[in-house]
Amino acid sequence: MYDVAAHAGVSIATVSRVLTRPDDVRASTQERVLQAVRELRYVPSGSARGLAARRTGVLGLFLPGVDAVEDLSDAEVGEQRPVEVRRDPAKPDQRPGANLYFEEVLRGCELEAWRQGFSLMICVGRGRSPESLEITLSDLAGKVDGLAVIAQSAPHDVLRRIGDSIPVVYLAGQRRDDDFDHITVRNREGMRALTEHLIDDHGVRDPMYLTGPFDSPDDAERYGGFAEALEGRGINPTALPVLHGEFSRERARAVAEDLIAGGRLPRALVCANDQMALGVLDALRPAGIRVPEDIIVTGFDGIDEGARSTPRLTTVMQPMLELGRAAVRAMVARVTDPDLEPVSTELPVTVLLRESCEGPLG
């Protein structure tokens, strides 16, 4: 920076302003400084900036995992192969594995971080041992100014220790007795409203619930709303089967195939997320079972693929993009003012009635 200042004939402070707050500097001065930067091939040191400002300009996002990580292998670099041209027939049992919920949350974090002038560092926790997970989290925390974590993806005691140094924001899950900001959605109310619609408008009295992982706080809230709706209409929820789909499209398809083989399909199958509902549709279609004439299928999340499925998926849409944006806003607010009181933000949801429940719509 000293060299750039001398080359441009300006002060070091002016160089700093051009590189960090260019709108505060006259255009002619900006151009002189940037010309010096180009000629000297200068690249600002993020490490040095972080030491001087006690900030890195980076925010962290810790995700529980991504699909197909077990299939990763070492890439073959440099091997010369001819271009392959081959037919690619459609395979009904081959479905995308990407977790679109996380993709949307991630996109929201990226957009808001960019808007706030921060970069985003992403870390995945899937497949790590508890000891390795703690080391990974500590390493990530040392490189960022704040950390957003999907609920249940990291040990709470480790996050409490990290929270002594940087802001930590919980995404999803239930509010806990801690000093963290929590950003969640109205899971219970959304699932209750959807289930009441099934009972009141479609006469469903025997819905089955397809649940996610046993330790998912979001799924616990959604099942709570499902059970409340049943109890409010005089139906005992404990008398109805709960099936385990692990939030996985592949697992949900296998569950649905077992129900079909055993002749045990209910009038409605209420899934705790859209990916499981899409997996159910994958199984019903080749078996010739009509939706919604023979069985109603519903999901939760509102991912784009549910709006393009056949039939289109009835779901509870949550604002996944805004969930990520709200997490970044909370981190930036606490980086700016560490003494802020913890906040708990609950975002609204919308029940979208589509053909998998309603039949043909105008």
* 152 and 181 inside one domain: yes
Residue-averaged pLDDT of the chain: 88
Whether 164 has a pLDDT exceeding 60, the answer reads yes
Q: Residue 87 domain-assigned?
A: no
- What percent of the chain has a predicted confidence (pLDDT) above 90? 64
Domain CATH code at residue 28: 1.10.260.40
CA 341/CA 121 separation, integer angstroms:
25
pLDDT, tens only, 212-260 = 988 888 999 999 999 999 999 999 999 999 999 999 999 999 999 999 9
Tally of structural domains, the chain: 3
Report the phi/psi class of residue 348: left, alpha or beta, with left for phi > 0 and alpha for psi in -120 to 50. Answer: beta
Domain CATH code at residue 137: 3.40.50.2300
Please answer whether residues 26 and 20 qualify as being in contact, where contact means their C-beta atoms are separated by less than 8 angstroms: no
Report the phi/psi class of residue 318: left, alpha or beta, with left for phi > 0 and alpha for psi in -120 to 50. Answer: beta
* 137 and 194 inside one domain: no
Specify the pLDDT at position 32.
93
Q: Residue 198 domain-assigned?
A: yes
Neighbours of 34 (CB within 10 A): 17
pLDDT, tens only, 282-335 = 999 999 999 999 999 999 999 999 999 999 999 999 999 999 999 999 999 999
* 293 and 340 inside one domain: no
CA 181/CA 172 separation, integer angstroms:
11
pLDDT, tens only, 32-41 = 999 999 999 9
The more confident residue out of 175 and 1 is 1
pLDDT, tens only, 84-122 = 787 767 554 444 444 678 889 999 999 999 999 899 999
Whether 73 has a pLDDT exceeding 70, the answer reads no
Q: State the residue range of the domain holding 342.
A: 58-67+97-185+320-346
| Pairing outcome for strands 168-171 and 181-185 | parallel
CA 294/CA 75 separation, integer angstroms:
47
* 254 and 168 inside one domain: no
Whether 21 has a pLDDT exceeding 60, the answer reads yes
